[in-house]
């Protein structure tokens, strides 16, 4: 999860600050262009504690002082974590998965909701989120072209230093195998139910998705 994990890692190392910082956090929220939901509400809606949300908010605000992040800024942030590859296309797809309301910007609430699912959600929740990422046109199905676009974007992002060195047709082979297993009724599309069933019954698919979680 690259940039996402980089932000979250600070939760493990931050020292507990005086309680007055809670007041400062609430005051700072009023000074940005977009004010997030109250910490209590976000705590109820996510798997994070209020303390963790405070840490995440400070990191988010440092990168995005306006309180929202647009796609270009998102790409710039994400590219820092993958200097040996081209992260722009994967960041594009990931941004639109975070931007659930399709407003063209990601708010703090969008960020922590997705992060909560990816880091602390159930297997079913993580798979539903991943399905939405692969469903590029948001029509409720994944076709082979969409899967190819996402997988190729991941390989492009990992760059030429990926080990072992990948052949040019590796993404296509990867997609062909996955799609054949997932498209149960061979109608050329993968439904959510097919995706969930295939992922949970095939250890190879689950292992591959777990590897891809490192760049989500």
For the chain, percent of residues with pLDDT exceeding 70 = 75
| Sequence-distant contacts of 137-142: CB under 8 A, at least 24 apart | 138/102, 140/191, 140/192, 141/189, 141/190, 141/191, 142/182, 142/189, 142/190, 142/195
Total tally of structural domains belonging to the chain: 2
Shared-domain flag, residues 134 and 151? yes
**Residues of the domain holding 168:** 123-215
Query: Per the domain annotation, does 2 fall within a domain?
Result: no
User: Does 159 lie in the same domain as 76?
Assistant: no
Q: What is the pTM of this model?
A: 0.76
Residue-level pLDDT at 63: 84
Question: What pLDDT is stored for residue 184 in this prediction?
Answer: 94
Are 135 and 204 part of one and the same domain?
A: yes
Point out the least confidently predicted range of 19-33, 64-78, 138-152. Answer: 19-33
- Domain final position from 121, 143, 164: 121
- pLDDT digit string, tens, across residues 178-197: 999 999 999 999 999 999 99
């Amino acid at each position: 999860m690259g940039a996402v994990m980089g932000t979250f890692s600070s939760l493990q190392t931050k020292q507990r600050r005086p309680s007055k910082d809670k007041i400062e956090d609430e005051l700072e929220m009023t000074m940005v262009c977009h004010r997030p939901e109250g910490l209590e509400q976000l705590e109820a809606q996510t798997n994070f504690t209020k303390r963790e949300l405070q840490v995440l908010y400070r990191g988010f605000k440092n990168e995005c002082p306006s309180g929202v992040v647009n796609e270009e800024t998102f790409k710039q942030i994400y590219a820092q974590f993958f200097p040996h590859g081209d992260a722009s296309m994967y960041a594009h797809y990931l941004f639109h998965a975070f931007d659930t309301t399709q407003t063209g910007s990601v708010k703090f609430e969008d960020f922590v909701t997705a992060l909560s699912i990816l880091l602390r959600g159930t297997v079913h929740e993580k798979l539903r989120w991943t399905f939405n990422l692969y469903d590029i046109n948001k029509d409720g199905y994944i076709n082979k072209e969409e899967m190819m676009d996402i997988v190729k974007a991941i390989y492009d992002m990992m760059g030429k230093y990926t080990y072992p060195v990948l052949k040019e047709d590796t993404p296509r082979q990867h997609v062909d195998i996955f799609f054949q297993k997932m498209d149960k009724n061979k109608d050329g599309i993968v439904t959510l139910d097919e995706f969930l069933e295939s992922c949970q019954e095939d250890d190879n698919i689950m292992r591959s998705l777990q590897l891809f979680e490192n760049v989500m």
